[in-house]
Structure 1
Amino acid sequence: MQNEGVPSSGYSEIRRLMETGEPVCITFETEEGDVKKRLHGTMPFQKSVPEEKTAGEERNELPGKSGFLFCELVQKARMGEKFRISGQSCSPGDYVLGLSEKSPAEYYLRSGRYSNKQDAEKAALSLPRLKRKFHSIVIEPLSVNRDIFDVLILFLKPERAMRVVQANAYSGGKRTVMDTMGAASICGDCTVFALEQGIGLSFGCKGSRKHSGYKDFEVPLGIAFEKIKEIEEGLSKIPETTE
C-alpha cells in the first residue's frame, strides 16, 4: 500500500497505459472530529488547490458545489487541474453519488433513452449508488496526489483496457465483471461500481462523451485503491500484445 503523505510517484505500469493526460484520483473525504478520512481508510488532511474558489477555506469548512459535471471535472483533472467540491451539476450524477434521492427516471424518459416510463424507472433503479456519507470530493491528477485515494480513473484504448483485465486475472485467474448500460458511466460505472467491486469497465455514456469530450476510441475504466497494487504487479508480469 502506498505510504500516506507521499506523492503518487509510483504506478509506472498504470501510468503508461494512458496516451493523453494522466490517471485521475477520486477521494471521498469524510469527517471525524478534526481529521479528514477517505471512505476506505484514514488519510491526513491536505488542503487542495482546486479550480473552484476556496480561498480562505477553513480546514473543516464545506467546499462549494461545482458548476461542472462530475465527468467534466474528471477530464479537467486528467489534463492537470485539481478540485475539491461538495457537489456537481449533473442530476443523474447526484443520484449516483448519493447527493440526491431524486431518481433520474423522468429525465431519462424525456431524453428518449428508454421506450416507456417503466423501463426508465428500471434503468434508474439499476444504477450503482454510493450509500456511504462523505464531506467532499477531491478530483486530481495522479501526479499531484499525496495521500491514498478511493478510485483511479483511466481513459484507454481497448487494447490497453484489455491489459488491465489480463492483469486482474494474473493472480487467481479471475474474470473481470463488466456491468454497464451506457448511462452514468464515469460517476457510476467507473467510480461507484469500481469502489465496490474493484474494477469498473465502461463504454462511456451519452452525457460524458458529449460534455467531457474524451475520444470515441477511448473506454473509461476505474480501479479501486485496494486493487491498484495487484493491477500494477500484473501489468509488469503479463506479456505485451506483440509478444
Structure 2
Amino acid sequence: MKTDYGTISEKMKDKLGLERSPVAVKLVLREEDLPKGIERISEPARHCEMVMKASRGEMFYALAEDQECKGGAGAIGADEMPEKVKTGEFYYELGRFSSFPAAKRTLDLIPKIDLRFYAVVYAPLEKIEFDPDVIIVVCNPAQALRLVQALVYTKGGRARGDFAGIQSICADAVAGPYMRGEANITLACSGSRQYSDIKEDELIVGLTAENIDCIIEALEEMA
C-alpha cells in the first residue's frame, strides 16, 4: 500500500507543533531513477540551504555541480569529498581543532555514504509522491523531546545524538540515518547556521523513512 506522506506530514506538524515542513530527502543513484515531474534547482546552493528551502515549501533536485558545499556533498554521496576535508586539514586550518590529529580523528568518525549518487531530491514531506530515504525535522528542543519519546515508545531504548559541530545537516542528519538505519539528533553547525535560516533555538533530527509510520502511531498514542 502506498504511503500517504501528506497525512504523515500533517500529523507530524500537528502533534509536534512544527512551524516548518518536515523535509524529504531522496538520494538518487541513477538518472532513470529520478522521480518524475521534479525540476532541477535554479541555482547552486549548499545542502543545508537546500534543506531549509524545502522546509519552506520548495521541491527540486540537485546534481553534483549544484552543491556549493563540497564537504557536505561528499558526506551524502552527492559529489567527491575534497581531500583536505577528508583528512581533517580543512577544519584544522580553520582553527576548529588544536591539532591535526584531533581533526583527523573527528573526520574519521563522521558518517559518510560510500556511494556516488546522480542527484539528491529535496521536498516538503507533504508534497512527495516517492519514498524518501531520510526525513529531516527542524524543530525546537521541546519538539525534539516529543519526537524522541515517540522513537522509543514502541520498543524502548535510547535515542542517538551523535555530532561534533561540523557537517551537521549533511553527515549527521542524512548520512548517519541512511547508513545506520536509525534516527540522529544534531545541533546544526557553524556553516549551516551561517548560510541557512536555522534559528538559534532550533536543532535538527534526521529520521529514516523506513519506520515513519511507527513514529506517527506513537505520537498519536502517547499521553
- TM-score under structure 1 length normalisation: 0.82
Structure-1 separation of matches of 2:32 and 2:68: 28
Q: Give the match for residue 204 of structure 1.
A: 188
Structure-1 separation of matches of 2:126 and 2:216: 16
Contact 1:50-1:81 at 8 Å conserved across structures: no
The superposition leaves residues 89-117 of structure 1 with CA deviations (integer Å, 9 ceiling, x where unpaired) of 11321331232142411210121110011
> Which one of 148, 161, 174 corresponds to residue 131 of structure 2?
148
How many positions carry a matched residue from both structures? 214
> Which one of 39, 42, 56 corresponds to residue 49 of structure 1?
39
Matches within 5 A, 1:42-191: 45-52=35-42, 67-87=44-64, 88-98=67-77, 99-101=79-81, 102-104=83-85, 105-191=88-174
Structure-2 separation of matches of 1:28 and 1:156: 23
Identity %: 27
Unaligned runs of 5+ residues in structure 1 are: 38-44, 53-65
Structure-1 separation of matches of 2:117 and 2:18: 32
Q: 1:209: Cα distance to partner?
A: 0.8
- CA RMSD of superposed structures (Å): 1.8
Larger radius of gyration: 1
Unaligned runs of 5+ residues in structure 2 are: none
**Residue identity matched to 1:36:** D
Q: Give the match for residue 27 of structure 2.
A: 28
Superposed structure 1 runs of 4+ greater than 6 Å apart: none
216-225 or 78-87, which deviates more? 78-87
Say which SS state the counterpart of residue 53 (structure 2) adopts.
Answer: helix
Alignment of 1:233 onto 2:217: yes
Q: Which of the two has greater helix per residue? A: 2
Structure-2 separation of matches of 1:9 and 1:140: 12
Q: 1:182: Cα distance to partner?
A: 0.9
